Amino acid sequence: MNTSSPLTIVAIATSLPGQEKHLRAAQEKLVAETVKESGCLRYELHQSIEDGRVLVFMETWASEAQWRAHMQGAAIKRFHASGAGNLIQDFSLFRMNLVTDGK
């Protein structure tokens, strides 16, 4: 993978039962901080209609290096320091290459 090309991240978190509102609030704060970061092209939070415990980040970064900087940055550190990570029952993260945008 070319680490200087745009990188898409799909991150799926399932909250502990009854904790979805608290996790979502912490994640919304993370979005508000992250969209201001260098290299952040898209940082969206989605919630499953079928299962409100499932929250999905759709992210696009200008480069893998900028995503890695985000992962070590202040916003992520504040998110973890808040204890929000303890509200997550299951987590998956996928680094994605764009195949086609359908255009």
Q: Using one digit for the tens of pLDDT, what is the confidence trace for 60-77?
A: 999 999 999 999 999 999
Banded model confidence at residue 99, pLDDT cuts 50, 70, 90: confident
pLDDT at site 4: 62
Query: 55 with 15: CB under 8 angstroms?
Result: yes
Q: Using one digit for the tens of pLDDT, what is the confidence trace for 12-56?
A: 999 999 999 999 999 999 999 999 999 999 999 999 999 999 999
